[in-house]
Structure 1
Amino acid sequence: MARWKAPATVEPPAPPSQPTGWAARLYRGQAGLDVVGRRRILFGVAGTVLLIALVSFGVRGFTLGIDFRGGTEFQIPASVGTLDQTQSAVSRAIEAADPAASVVSAQRLGGDHPSYLIRTTSMPANDTATAKSTLEGSLHLPASQISDNRVSAAWGAQVTQRSLLGLVIFLLLVVVYLIIRFEWRMAVAAVSSLAFDLVATAAVYSLVGWEVSPNTVIGALTILGFALYDVVVVFDKIQENSRGITARSDRTYSEAANLAVNQMLMRSINTGLVALLPVGGLLFIGAGLLGAGTLEDLGLVLFVGMGTAVYSSIFFATPVLVSLKQRQPSLRAHTRRVNSRRAAAKANREREERESMVSPQPAAALATAGATANPAADVAVAASTGAPGNASKAASRTGNGRQAPAGARGSKARSGGGTAGRNRRR
Structure 2
Amino acid sequence: MRYSFRNFDFVKASKGFFIFSIVLTLLGIASLSIFGLNYGIDFQSGSSVDITTSKHVDKTQAEDFFKGESLGEFTFTTGDDRFSVRFKDALDESQQLKLENDFKSKFDDKASFEINIVDVDIAKEQERNALYGMLIACIGIVIYVAIRFEWRFAVSSVIALAHDAFLVITMFSLFRLEVNLPFILAILTIIGYSINDTVVIFDRIRENLRFAKIKGPDDLKELVNTSVRQTLTRSINTVATVLFASLCLFAFGSISIKMFSLAMLFGLFFGAYSSIFIASPLWLMLRKRAKPKKAVKVQSAP
Q: What TM-score range do you get, normalising by the shorter chain? A: 0.7 to 0.9
C-alpha contact 1:83 1:108 (8 A) present in aligned 2: no
The residue aligned with 2:2 is 23
Structure 2 match to 1:328: 290
1:104 aligns with 2:75: yes
Q: CA deviation at 1:131?
A: 4.3
- Any conservation in 1 of the 2:53–2:108 contact (CA below 8 Å)? no
Contact 2:160–2:275 (CA under 8 A) maintained in structure 1: yes
Shift in Å, 1:298: 1.2
Question: Would you say the 8 A contact 2:75–2:87 is kept in 1?
Answer: yes
The 8 Å contact of residues 76 and 83 in structure 2, kept in 1 or not, is answered as no
CA displacement 1:134-193 (0-9 Å, x = unmatched): 435433649x96564433233232222112212122112111111111100000000000
Residue matched to 2:107: 139
Number of equivalent positions = 294
| 1:96-146 Cα distance to aligned partner (Å, 9 max, x none) | x34xx233133458xxxx75443222145365555455435433649x965
Give 1:302's aligned residue. Answer: 264
Correspondent of 2:31 among 56, 61, 68:
56
CA distance in structure 2 between the partners assigned to 1:148 and 1:321 by the alignment: 49
Q: Which amino acid in 2 is paired with 1:74?
A: V
- Give the drift of 1:250: 11
More displaced 10-residue stretch of structure 1: 172-181 or 251-260: 251-260
Which residue matches 1:15?
Answer: none
Distance 1:215 1:90, change over 3 A: farther
The whole-number CA distance in structure 2 between the counterparts of 1:86 and 1:75 is: 16
- The change in CA–CA distance for 1:255 and 1:300 in structure 2 (over 3 A counts) is same
Output the aligned Cα RMSD: 2.9
Comparing both chains, which one has the higher relative contact order based on Cα–Cα distances under 8 Å and sequence gaps of 6 or more? 2
Say whether 1:207 aligns with 2:174.
yes
Q: Would the aligned equivalents of 1:53 and 1:203 in 2 still touch at CA under 8 Å?
A: yes
**Match runs of 1:15-414 below 5 Å:** 23-26=2-5, 30-31=6-7, 33-79=8-54, 81-82=56-57, 84-85=59-60, 87-94=62-69, 97-98=70-71, 101-108=72-79, 116-125=83-92, 128=96, 131-132=99-100, 134-139=102-107, 141=109, 148-245=115-212, 252-284=219-251, 286-287=252-253, 292-330=254-292
CA distance in 2: counterparts of 1:215 and 1:271, whole angstroms = 22
Shift of 1:259: 1.6
Q: Deviations over 1:363-400 (max 9, x none)?
A: xxxxxxxxxxxxxxxxxxxxxxxxxxxxxxxxxxxxxx
> What secondary structure is seen at the aligned counterpart in 1 of 2:48?
strand
Counterpart CA distance in 2 for 1:146 and 1:180 is: 51
Query: C-alpha separation between the residues in 2 aligned to 1:176 and 1:57?
Result: 29
Post-superposition shift, 1:251?
5.9
SS in structure 1 of the partner of residue 239 of structure 2? helix
Contact 1:87 1:106 in 2 (8 A): no
Judged with a 3 Å threshold, the aligned counterparts in structure 2 of structure 1 residues 121 and 90 are, in CA distance, closer, same or farther, namely: farther
Percent of aligned positions with the same letter in both sequences? 25
* 1:314-338 C-alpha deviation (Å, 9 max, x unpaired): 111111111111111228x9xxxxx
Could you tell me the TM-score, scaled by structure 1's length?
0.62
The amino acid across from 2:38 in the alignment is T
Contact map agreement 1:231 1:313 (CA 8 A) in 2: yes
Query: Where does structure 1 lack aligned partners over 5 or more consecutive residues?
Result: 1-21, 334-426
- Is the alpha carbon distance of 1:87 and 1:237 closer, same or farther for their aligned partners in structure 2, counting shifts above 3 Å? farther
